[in-house]
Amino acid sequence: MEDEAEIFEGLRSQFPLSFGKQSKSETPLELIHNATRRAAAAATTSTAVNSDKPSASTSSDKANAFPSLSSSSKGWLDSLKNSNPRNPKKKAKEDELIGPPRRPVSSDGTAIIGPPRPPPGSGVVDEDDEPVIGPPRPRPGGDGDDDDDEPMVGPPRPPPGGEGEDDDGGSMIGPPRPPPGGMQSDSDEDMDEEDENSGYRIPLSNEIVLKGHTKVVAALAVDHSGSRVLSGSYDYTVRMYDFQGMNSRLQSFRQLEPFEGHQIRGLSWSPTADRFLCVTGSAQAKIYDRDGLTLGEFVKGDMYIRDLKNTKGHISGLTCGEWHPKAKETILTSSEDGSLRIWDVNDFKSQKQVIKPKLSRPGRVPVTTCSWDREGKRIAGGIGDGSIQVWNIKAGWGSRPDIYVANGHTDDITGIKFSSDGLTLLSRSFDGSLKVWDLRQMKEALQVFDDLPNHYAQTNITFSPDEQLFLTGTSIERESTTGGLLCIYDRAKLELVSRVGISPTFSVVQCAWHPRLNQIFATVGDRHEGGTHILYDPTISERGALVCVARAPRKQSVDDFQAQPVIHNPHALPLFRDQPSRKRQREKILKDPLKSHKPELPINGPGHGGRVGSTKGSLLTQYLLKQGGLIKETWMEEDPREAILKYADVAAKDPKFIAPAYAETQPEPVFAKSDSEDEEK
């Protein structure tokens, strides 16, 4: 027996521990991400705007179109369309054609050779896993297909029918020949745009939506690690999402209502991501910990004090707030009372610094937005009169701004953002424009981008992680058909890179591009519904949306079953039913046509028991009195004096109760006798 046991253990050691166990069926990641891929018609088409386009109408039409896929995905899809599926071995050899291909440049400065390789799992595999060099192979049916398997060397064979584009469907190999007249064709122009966009690597191929709000989402904050997302809405609530604990249902794990009846206008994480700031329409900002527990709220100032520097806090609704990028105890808030205030989170009773902006006219003008620079050494504020003011934090600094732009915008400023190098400032306004400023020369803007409708006071601007691009959202207009867009611009060239359609019915308010996740967040909504769209690409994005989408919902166990409670009403049964009141009985009888039709009985004789002449002695007491002779029918008709005096002789002869006790001392009663003679006289 011991030998058999040793033999069995030896054989068992040759097999893995999972041998014989049923493994759980898992959905491939490719199918999961294909389910979240953005549709070409409804969502995204990447379009570039070049300054050297021949016609303005063509550029405007492409700018208004919705993008479909990211530029990298569109490139390899086009290469698949132009490939020959009949002979993959011949394709691999013909891909080695030598010619001067057009080589776009990526974001890091390296040249991209050939079209992008299709992602794994797409079904297209190059033989021997060799890199594809040169332009895509010609379409079947053209003159580029030779019967032998040797690659063509030298200039391409001219197509039949003269110069220009091949008429029979074949494509030209090598550099494209310009069309007659020296103008570039539309197809070549689109190829230039694709090559130009392919170097940006914008994550736009897939999308998920974090829902739950009933109105527009106007505040967004993603912590530095990219694990938790905060969204605040005009429905007065803040929702907290956790990517690590969230499954494909995309539900929030906590919901907060900081101030009842006040909109959420700003959210900001601390540098250590252990606390976050919540700014609402009230005059008091709140501090929460990472799990949503209230740590405190700042004091409200005295509204009857005229000088804002003498108040301990804001006296009107807040408009914006941001945590210091370096110091975890300092925050900045702006308010409608016309001031900016710097607070210490360890002291909720009073602020550290009060900043009163410079005004062109006396009065109180609201400060609509505020922002720190990357090092926390400068503060920028957008004023309600359209001016932009910047303060340098130094020893002995006050409310006088170091940079003052009087006519920055013609309307309220909704967003302002510093670049990390401290050289560029971006501003967004209600006037439908986005301006790029050079902080070394603030007299005029470097570039102004118009036709960006904005209807929300929290519409912001943000940079890409490498700060080569910056992006902002647009609002929906009544007669417009484009929907809410996310416009992406090149910082160096100061031109539009692409316009991404986020929602056909909702406006885009807040946007963010997280550096660690490499995912784009965009909040949308209107007065009926709101949500947060997350754009990502499975090939270049990390964690975040990829983690929660791939995590299936937990299966329900027996412990999750809850029986629906059955409520038994004891008064529903006639046995336990209370008798209704007389008033209700009378009302019920009046509604009954049979009972209400019966007339009242007539009155017969004296009444008893509160009712006149209707009982007829039906009560026991009345029956006994009547049988004992105490109740007679004729006593109402007799004279009461005569009825009493007829018992006078009986009482005098046979006294029973009171008279015998006073018989000896009681005087004899003398009654007045009537003198008939005197009356007659």
- 21-63 tens-digit pLDDT: 555 556 787 888 888 888 743 434 344 443 333 333 333 343 4
- 117-160 tens-digit pLDDT: 545 444 444 444 444 444 555 444 444 444 444 444 444 444 44
pLDDT of residue 194: 43
CA–CA distance, 174 with 197 (Å, rounded to integer): 22
**Which residues sit opposite 207 in a β-bridge?**
535
CA–CA distance, 648 with 669 (Å, rounded to integer): 12
pLDDT of residue 614: 46
Q: In which residue ranges of the chain is CATH 2.130.10.10 found?
A: 206-553
Average pLDDT, the chain: 75
How does DSSP assign 425-457, residue by residue? Answer: EEEEETTS-EEEEETTB-SS-SEEE-------T
pLDDT confidence band for 448 (50 / 70 / 90): very high
CA–CA distance, 82 with 189 (Å, rounded to integer): 18
How does DSSP assign 600-642, residue by residue? Answer: PPPP-SS-BTTBSSSSSS-SHHHHHHHHTTS--TTTTTS-HHH
Nearest 10 degrees: CA dihedral of 178, 179, 184, 186?
A: -120
Amino acid letter, residue 505: T
In 3-state terms, what secondary structure has residue 232?
Answer: strand
pLDDT of residue 35: 84
Q: If you classify domain 206-553 with CATH, what class do you get?
A: mainly beta
For the ranges 344-353, 414-423, 473-482, 593-602, the lowest mean pLDDT is seen at 593-602
Backbone CA torsion sign across 354, 359, 363, 368:
negative
Q: Is residue 292 pLDDT above 50, yes or no?
A: yes
Q: Is residue 64 pLDDT above 60, yes or no?
A: no
pLDDT of residue 589: 84
CA–CA distance, 220 with 239 (Å, rounded to integer): 10
Element containing residue 268 per DSSP (H, E): strand 264-269
- 100-116 tens-digit pLDDT: 444 444 445 544 444 44
Nearest to 511 by CA among 415, 445, 435, 430: 415
**Which residues sit opposite 321 in a β-bridge?**
333
pLDDT confidence band for 626 (50 / 70 / 90): low
Q: What mean pLDDT comes out for the span 472-477?
A: 93
Q: Is the pTM value of this prediction over 0.85?
A: no
Cα→Cα distances 160→155, 163, 168, 439, Å: 15, 8, 9, 59
Amino acid letter, residue 37: R
Cα→Cα distances 110→97, 106, 346, 487, 600, Å: 22, 6, 49, 26, 109
Locate 583 and state its tokens.
């008033």
In terms of C-beta distances under 8 Å and separation of at least 24 residues, what long-range contacts does 601-606 make, across chains too? 605/633, 606/636
- 458-474 tens-digit pLDDT: 999 999 999 999 999 99
Backbone conformation region of residue 616, classed left if phi is above 0, alpha if psi is from -120 to 50, else beta = left
Nearest to 70 by CA among 208, 189, 209, 202: 202
Bridge-based pairing of strands 217-222 and 519-525 is unpaired
Q: How many other C-beta atoms can be found within 10 angstroms of the C-beta atom of residue 206?
A: 23
For the ranges 64-68, 243-247, 643-647, 677-681, the lowest mean pLDDT is seen at 64-68
Q: In what order do the strands lie in the sheet with 495-503?
A: 461-463, 469-473, 484-490, 495-503
